[in-house]
């Protein structure tokens, strides 16, 4: 990887700025709650993405670096066990301190220190780590939007964030055929990629046809109306148990008012727009829908090979592939090795990107992953037959 140093610095500064920009519509109170363990307080995202640069870049490479506040190294560690103690994940919402203002000061302090480091030093190690930190922060920008949506959606008054992340109708329709054979997938050494997508390798595919459009709300409403949420034959055993425990009757954010389905969106509560792709479905729901259509979800290899044949990027697309290491994958040593590998069990891969994916963060080799019951992320369904 040989991104010019100046570009790294520019990317760094604009990424830092973008995170703060995403928070502009928030009231100060919105930075605090953690309504479910999966949803982190926005303040925590602001701090954690900063901590990453302080912990892995500044403390390693800036010889005279004084941490902004030693306690912050504890507050804002997420799950890096190698980087020391941390606040238990499900207690993030109990932290009123440091205040938002202090966290913004922390951001500025670390941003300046990294900028100074980048100006003064040229080592490839630093550039690589800062680049990783940029992509880490981009990933959190997307999570931040999921979490803001969830927090707003929990408020009885369902406040409005804005219309920056609206979906549009998928314009292509029909199926594209792909001939079976040996193909290559995985990241090559051009541009940034995570450890989990590296290892360009061959895969053997059978013939398949892939839909050009994501499943629409109209199609999904047909599924609901024809009893999709009451016929256990369509569901995984664990999916059916989840549906029953959680009382699922529709995707997340859908509510029936006076007999009609509507949904909470970042721009307020709305009638279902039947032309838009269905959003906020779990793997269990995506699989049940596919079974109802006598189709299936693509494997991640099928998706990657076919991806030039359709337009993608509105919603992350569930694949039928469990999240497992690529051939030759080994975890890096130390804290950075915790980034991906340790989650490779009981998760499913999603491919593509979403309207909340930061510009420049999407690529066809990207392996996103969530637990099969998760549905607060911006996820949709593409079928294969």
* Phi, psi dihedral angles at 367 (to 5 degrees): -110, 95
Query: How wide is the angle at C-alpha 87 spanned by C-alphas 31 and 56, nearest 5°?
Result: 90
15 vs 139, which CB is nearer to a second copy? 139
Contact by Cβ (8 Å): 269, 158: yes
Does residue 321 belong to the site contacting a second copy (CB under 8 A)? yes
Which 329-358 residues touch a second copy, going by CB under 8 A? 331, 337-338, 342-346, 348
Using CA atoms, how far residue 321 sits from 44, 74, 205, 241, 331, in Å, is 31, 35, 14, 21, 20
Question: Binder to a second copy among 201, 270, 275, 385 (CB under 8 A)?
Answer: 201
List, in sequence order, the alpha helices (H) in 186-294: 217-225, 237-246, 283-292
Residue nearer to a second copy on the CB measure, 266 or 353: 266
Q: What value does the CA radius of gyration of the chain take, rounded to a whole number of Å?
A: 21
Residues 121 and 61: their CA atoms lie apart, in Å, by 9
Residue nearer to a second copy on the CB measure, 171 or 204: 204
Under the criterion CB under 8 A, does residue 35 sit at the interface with a second copy? Answer: yes
Residue with tokens 């999916």: 239
Cβ 123 to a second copy shortest distance, Å: 26
Stretch that binds a second copy, among 16-24, 30-38, 162-170, 361-369 (CB under 8 A): 30-38
> In Å, how far from its chain's centre is CA 304?
18
**Residue number with CB closer to a second copy (1 or 36):** 36
Continuous H helices in the chain: 5-22, 42-53, 59-61, 70-75, 100-120, 124-154, 217-225, 237-246, 283-292, 300-306
- Beta-bridge mates of residue 222: none
Contact status: 298 vs a second copy (CB under 8 A): no
Contact between residue 31 and residue 86 where contact means Cβ atoms under 8 Å apart: no
Taking the C-alpha atoms of residue 237 and residue 372, their distance in angstroms, rounded to an integer, is: 12
Per CB under 8 A, does 179 bind a second copy? Answer: no
Q: Which of 81, 188 has the CB closer to a second copy?
A: 81
Q: Is 96 in the site for a second copy (CB under 8 A)?
A: yes
Alpha helix stretches (DSSP H) within 121-197: 124-154
Is the CB of 261 or the CB of 343 nearer to a second copy? 343
The Cα–Cα gap between 366 and 352 comes to 7
Residue with Cβ nearer a second copy (14 or 255): 255
Phi first, then psi, for residue 327 (nearest 5°) are: -55, 130
Q: Does 82 bind a second copy (CB under 8 A)?
A: yes
Q: Which is nearer to a second copy, 309 or 324 (CB)?
A: 324
For the CB of residue 71, give the shortest distance to a second copy in the complex, in Å.
6
**Which one, 100 or 210, has the nearer CB to a second copy?**
100
**Residue numbers 132-161 binding a second copy by CB under 8 A:** 151, 154-157, 159
From the list 164, 157, 149, the residue with the least C-alpha distance to 375 is 149
Q: Which of 204, 247, 308, 359 binds a second copy (CB under 8 A)?
A: 204
User: Please, which of residues 220-239 interact with a second copy by CB under 8 A?
Assistant: 232-233, 235-239
Among 2, 63, 206, 225, binds a second copy (CB under 8 A): 206
**Applying CB under 8 A, which part among 199-207, 251-259, 269-277, 307-315 lies near a second copy?**
199-207
> Structure tokens of 238?
């664990």
- Region 104-133 residues binding a second copy, contact defined as CB under 8 A: none
Taken in order 370, 374, 378, 382, is the CA torsion positive or negative?
Answer: positive
Q: How many CA atoms lie within 13 A of 168 on its CB side?
A: 7
Residues of the shown chain interacting with a second copy in the complex, contacts defined by CB under 8 A? 27-33, 35, 43, 71, 74-75, 79, 81-82, 87, 91, 93-100, 151, 154-157, 159, 182, 201-204, 206, 232-233, 235-240, 283-284, 287, 291, 296, 320-322, 324-325, 327-328, 331, 337-338, 342-346, 348, 372
């Amino acid at each position: 990887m040989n991104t010019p140093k100046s570009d790294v610095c520019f990317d760094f500064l604009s990424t830092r700025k973008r995170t703060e920009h995403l928070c502009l519509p928030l009231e100060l109170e919105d930075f605090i709650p953690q309504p479910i363990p999966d949803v982190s307080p926005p303040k925590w995202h602001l701090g954690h993405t900063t901590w990453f640069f302080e912990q892995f870049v500044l403390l390693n490479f800036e010889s005279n670096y004084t941490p902004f506040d030693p306690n912050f190294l504890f507050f804002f560690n997420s799950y890096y066990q190698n980087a020391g103690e941390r606040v238990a994940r499900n207690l993030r919402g109990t932290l009123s301190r440091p205040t938002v203002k202090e966290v913004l000061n922390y951001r500025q302090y670390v941003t300046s220190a990294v900028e100074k480091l980048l100006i003064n030093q040229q080592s490839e190690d630093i550039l690589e780590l800062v680049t990783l930190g940029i992509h880490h922060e981009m990933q959190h920008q997307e999570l931040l939007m999921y979490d803001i949506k969830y927090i707003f959606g929990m408020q009885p008054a369902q406040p409005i964030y804005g219309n920056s992340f609206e979906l549009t109708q998928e314009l292509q329709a029909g199926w594209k055929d792909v001939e079976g054979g040996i193909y290559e997938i995985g990241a090559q050494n051009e541009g940034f990629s995570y450890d989990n997508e590296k290892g360009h390798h061959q895969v053997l595919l059978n013939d398949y046809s892939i839909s050009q459009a994501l499943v629409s709300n109209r199609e999904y409403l047909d599924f609901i109306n024809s009893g999709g949420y009451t016929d256990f034959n369509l569901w995984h055993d664990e999916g059916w148990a989840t549906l029953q425990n959680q009382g699922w009757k529709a995707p997340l954010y859908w509510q029936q008012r006076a007999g009609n389905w509507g949904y909470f969106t970042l721009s307020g509560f709305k009638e279902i727009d039947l032309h838009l792709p269905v959003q906020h479905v779990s793997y269990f729901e995506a699989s049940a829908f596919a079974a109802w259509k006598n189709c299936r979800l693509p494997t991640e290899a099928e998706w990657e090979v076919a991806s030039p044949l359709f337009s993608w990027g509105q919603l992350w697309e569930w694949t039928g592939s469990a999240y497992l290491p690529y051939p030759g994958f080994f975890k890096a040593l130390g804290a950075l090795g915790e980034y991906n590998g340790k989650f490779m069990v009981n998760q499913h891969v999603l491919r593509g990107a979403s309207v909340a994916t930061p510009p420049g963060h999407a690529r066809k080799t990207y392996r996103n992953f969530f637990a099969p019951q998760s549905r607060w992320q911006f996820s949709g369904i593409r079928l294969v037959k």
